[in-house]
């Protein structure tokens, strides 16, 4: 029995035999990677710059849509019930500026995983498209909640103010993360093929 619902393997399937135990371990590893990346942060208000999105993209690409989404759901759940694994070692489920982004991680991992399964992660362009779509999903969930939060605490929350607070500061960093991740994954696939040969 396995959580892998795709017909095409992801990169971890080349190394890890498919089993329920392996899938559970990989889901936990994806959540742990994201928790660690969350602590790499540049404090900003209302949304800090962190390494989380890079971890989310890699987890989705490496684990596939089902395991990737489950790993992010586990990350969000564990932080919500009190483990200090969110940025700045915070925890708890509360309406705040980053709530939408956390929910967006689940969708992003599923989207990136879907693209990784379809392209086998070996083509740079396909990987980059998946990463861009996944990153967009994070903002699709994150920005509306951020806008509502800004309005609730008396700050301007029109489209311009929301974009300036929750998107514009991250565009360059996101582009670098996407370029790096899009290079690493096909490179890893090429290495796997050489080892297998």
What is the number of alpha carbons within 13 Å of residue 78 lying toward its C-beta?
18
pLDDT tens by residue, 60-97: 999 999 999 999 999 999 999 999 999 999 999 888 99
Highest mean pLDDT among 13-17, 45-49, 71-75, 85-89: 71-75
Find the Cα–Cα–Cα–Cα dihedral 56, 160, 94, 103, rounded to 10°. -30
Per the structure block, which two tokens stand in for 134?
């996944």
Q: How far apart are the C-alpha atoms of 120 and 153, rounded to whole Å?
A: 45
Task: Please report, for the chain, the start and end positions of each structural domain, with discontinuous segments joined by +.
Answer: 35-196
What is the predicted pLDDT for the residue at 6?
Answer: 47
What class does CATH assign to 35-196?
mainly alpha
pLDDT tens by residue, 126-177: 788 899 999 999 999 999 999 999 999 999 999 999 999 999 999 999 999 8
Which pTM does this prediction carry? Answer: 0.90
Name residues whose C-beta falls within 8 Å of residue 192's C-beta, 6 or more positions apart in sequence.
11, 14, 15
């Amino acid at each position: 029995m396995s959580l892998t619902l795709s017909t095409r393997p992801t990169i971890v399937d080349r190394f890890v035999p498919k089993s329920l135990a392996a899938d559970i371990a990989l889901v936990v590893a994806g959540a742990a990677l994201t928790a660690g990346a969350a602590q790499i942060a540049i404090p900003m208000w209302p949304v800090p710059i962190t390494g989380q999105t890079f971890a989310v993209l890699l987890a989705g690409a490496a684990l596939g849509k089902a395991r990737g989404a489950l790993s992010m759901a586990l990350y969000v759940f564990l932080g919500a019930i009190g483990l200090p694994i969110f940025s700045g070692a915070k925890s708890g489920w509360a309406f705040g500026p980053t709530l939408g982004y956390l929910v967006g991680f689940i969708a992003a991992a599923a989207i990136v995983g879907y693209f990784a399964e379809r392209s086998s992660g070996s083509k740079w362009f396909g990987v980059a498209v998946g990463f861009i779509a996944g990153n967009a999903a994070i903002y699709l969930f994150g920005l509306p909640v951020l806008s509502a939060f800004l309005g609730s605490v008396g700050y301007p929350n029109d489209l311009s103010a929301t974009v300036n607070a929750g998107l514009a500061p991250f565009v360059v960093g996101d582009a670098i993360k996407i370029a790096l991740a899009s290079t690493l994954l096909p490179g890893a696939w090429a290495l796997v093929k050489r080892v297998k040969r």
